[in-house]
Amino acid sequence: MEAISDLVARLNAQAADQSALERLQALRAALPGPIVFTTSFGVEDQAITHLIATAGLDISFATLDTGRLFPQTYDLWAQTEACYGIKVRPFFPQAEAVEAMTTAQGVNGFYDSVDARKTCCNVRKLEPLARALSGAQGWVTGLRADQSDHRQGLAFVSYDEVRGLVKLNPIFDWTRDDAAAFTAANDVPVNTLHAQGILSIGCAPCTRAIAPGEPERAGRWWWEDEAKKECGLHVGPDGRLTRTGAPT
């Protein structure tokens, strides 16, 4: 079998001249085991869902239901499953962990400090993500380079050393306008909150609409410094965003 480092390098080299669908197809062809696409039902994820579902790719759908999502997100979840005839498997936080955290820091304690907010993200997102990706060889996400300065140093394909799998960002080089145009042209259902100025949608208490001129992710964890605005899904043990490294 091709070494992981060689596979990552090859897929990255090919990706520059491929469409998003071709990148997904290349990853599926390269890995014999399960591939999971984690969706939060944002416009990027809806575009990827459309590509996977209409092409009939053997890639499973999963989402992290934190228990504090917007009602509109649940509506879109149901609409997406009906539109494409798919099932998006939910992964919920452990009840005991949520109870202990809420008892310790309060129902909205994540506003009090970065550490408290990261604790909430760990309980509601990171632990469920570990279960969602358990046994997978590949992970597909909707990350784009222009979402934030922190994400511009990423790549189409990387090796996630913590989780031991190959990670693909198939629309990494798209802009938000590209994603919006794609969904509009293909009648892809999108979250009605986007029309209200909420461009990056997460948990309801941690998301707000952005003002004119603000960057796309300014509405996420708006009470924190920009440098701290990652929940941990895409960072390594050092707290930095995972890059292109692969085992040698």
**For residues 3 and 198, what is the distance between their CA atoms, to the nearest angstrom?**
42
- Please identify which residue in the block is written with the tokens 């550490």: 115
Polymer length of the chain = 248
Query: Of the residues 120, 121, 203, 231, which is catalytic?
Result: 231
Sheet containing 138-140: give its strands across: 88-91, 60-64, 35-38, 138-140, 165-168, 157-160
Helices (H), 85-113: 95-105
Give residue 2's Cα distance to chain centre.
Answer: 27
Residue 231 annotated as catalytic: yes
10 three-state secondary structure:
helix
Which DSSP letter does residue 124 get? I
**For residues 199 and 244, what is the distance between their CA atoms, to the nearest angstrom?**
27
Write the CA distances from 1 to 6, 30, 35, integer angstroms. 10, 10, 17
What are all long-range contacts of 222-226, with beta carbons under 8 Å and residues at least 24 apart? 223/111, 224/114, 224/117, 226/148
b/e burial code for range 168-192 (CB count within 10 A of at least 16 → b): bbbbbebebebbbebbeeeebbbbe
**Catalytic residue set:** 231
